[in-house]
């Protein structure tokens, strides 16, 4: 009798788990599309007759197949839960008050993005000091939504946020852009000459690097956020301290704008993402964000990306992040136009899967459109 190879068996289990996850994700997306269609047509989401038919069909299929009792029980549980999801998806009451997590304290640019995106809806705002605290509030189910900065037009992607999106269980359901104007703030009596130490989030410093070349005597101290930096200066009331932050933070903490608009790029925007625990199907969604990994061999990335080109989908952004424990291998974060309910787009995603070793769809949502 051939000796069993435990590591080989475990690899096969991992492979089966990956395939199972992909099938369940596909079924979930289809179920959410059904719910979205029903809501758009004014149809009742709950349909007991349909639920009974689905369960009966699956029961019949299981009894006619040579599956083990364990597999049959697992399948019945999956279908039961899927039917519950179909009944409840997108059936939230319109007057519900949402709990929304925000990176940084009041007066931050993230705060502004949150207010802009959720305008007209009822929500309670909760502030967190770190990106990871914000994302774990979603992953653990404490918050309904969260708002995080992910990309700046001057400094590029915010790598920590990309890494956390892959690490934690959450989905992108929307985006908001905010024009960023950084200012040097100080307390009453502070001047460009008196300020020796400046606090800000690293992004605030990166966006204002040209300004600080002219003031080498100012020590730059990285802080939790731009608004938290302003709060720190306001509390200490020290004319040797300054903060790089927005006008809203200056107004909120009663600080003076010592030097206005110090960001190097006048066309300076930050893109914020809205995340949730579960994916949401949005009928007019036109942007997809996914994470992909390919084989570490010649041409593998080109072949995967060619799938988008040959079908005419616009590749809007591509970010690479290193795989921990694998030198020179990367996860690729991709933004591409499209709606997952479009058969052509679905075919492209299937083709990408066939050319990749890992695919995770983070969300299909509506791209930000500037309101005139």
- With cut-offs at 50, 70 and 90, classify the pLDDT of residue 49: low
DSSP 327: T
Tell which residue, 225, 242, 246, 251, has the closest CA to residue 181: 246
State the CB neighbour count (10 A cutoff) for residue 306.
Answer: 14
To the query of whether residue 272 is one of the catalytic residues in this protein, the response is: yes
The phi and psi torsions of 127 (rounded to 5 degrees) equal -100, 140
pLDDT, tens only, 127-162? 999 999 999 999 999 999 999 999 999 999 999 999
> Using CA atoms, how far apart are residues 138 and 28, in angstroms rounded to an integer?
19
**Bridging pattern class, strands 241-245 and 171-179:** unpaired
- Residue 60 pLDDT > 80: no
Which residues does residue 330 pair with via DSSP β-bridges, in sequence order?
Answer: 322
- Residue 320 pLDDT > 90: yes
Q: Tell me the mean pLDDT in the region 248-261.
A: 96
What one-character-per-residue DSSP string does 76-108 give? HHHHHHHHHHHHHTT---TTPPEEEEEESSTTS
Distance of CA 188 to CAs 181, 194, 241, 254, 322, Å?
21, 11, 11, 9, 46
Q: Tell me the mean pLDDT in the region 343-351.
A: 92
> Using CA atoms, how far apart are residues 10 and 241, in angstroms rounded to an integer?
57
Q: CB of 90 within 8 A of CB of 35?
A: yes
Whether the pTM exceeds 0.85: the reply is no
Which parts of 208-299 fold into alpha helices (H)?
209-213, 226-236, 247-252
Q: pLDDT at position 12, please? A: 79
pLDDT, tens only, 78-96? 665 565 555 555 445 557 8
Among 136, 155, 226, 270, the one annotated catalytic: 270
Among 117, 131, 272, 333, the one annotated catalytic: 272
To the query of whether residue 136 is one of the catalytic residues in this protein, the response is: no
């Amino acid at each position: 009798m051939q000796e069993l190879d435990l590591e080989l068996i475990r690899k096969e289990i991992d492979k089966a788990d990956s395939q199972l996850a992909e099938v369940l994700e596909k079924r979930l997306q289809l179920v959410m599309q059904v719910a979205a269609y029903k809501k758009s047509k004014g149809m009742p989401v709950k349909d007991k007759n349909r639920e009974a038919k689905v369960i009966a069909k699956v029961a019949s299929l299981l009894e006619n197949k040579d599956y083990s009792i364990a597999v049959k029980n697992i399948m019945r549980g999956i279908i039961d839960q899927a039917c519950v999801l179909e009944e409840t998806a997108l059936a939230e009451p319109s007057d519900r008050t949402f709990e929304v997590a925000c990176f940084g304290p009041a007066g931050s640019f993230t705060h502004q993005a949150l207010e802009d995106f959720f305008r007209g809806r009822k929500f309670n705002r909760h502030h967190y000091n770190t990106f990871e605290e914000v994302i774990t509030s979603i992953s653990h189910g404490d918050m309904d939504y969260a708002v995080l900065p992910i990309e700046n037009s001057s400094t590029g992607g915010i790598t920590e946020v990309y890494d956390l999106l892959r690490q934690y269980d959450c989905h992108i359901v929307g985006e908001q852009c905010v024009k960023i104007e950084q200012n040097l703030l100080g307390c009453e009596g502070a001047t460009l000459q008196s300020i020796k130490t400046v606090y800000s989030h690293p992004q605030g410093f990166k966006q204002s690097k040209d300004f600080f070349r002219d003031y080498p005597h100012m020590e730059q101290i990285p802080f939790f956020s731009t608004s938290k930096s302003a709060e720190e200066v306001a509390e200490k009331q020290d004319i040797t301290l300054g903060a790089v932050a927005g006008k809203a933070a200056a107004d909120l903490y009663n600080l003076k704008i010592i030097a206005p608009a110090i960001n190097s790029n006048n066309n300076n925007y930050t893109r914020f993402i809205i995340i949730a625990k579960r994916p949401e199907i949005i009928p007019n969604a036109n942007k997809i964000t996914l994470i992909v990994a390919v084989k570490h061999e010649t041409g593998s990335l080109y072949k995967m990306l060619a799938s988008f080109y040959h079908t005419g989908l616009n590749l809007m952004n591509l970010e690479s992040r290193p795989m921990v424990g694998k030198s020179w291998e990367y996860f690729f974060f991709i933004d591409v136009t499209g709606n997952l309910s479009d058969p052509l787009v679905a075919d492209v995603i299937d083709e990408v899967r066939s050319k990749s070793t890992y695919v995770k769809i983070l969300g299909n949502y509506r791209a930000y459109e500037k309101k005139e």
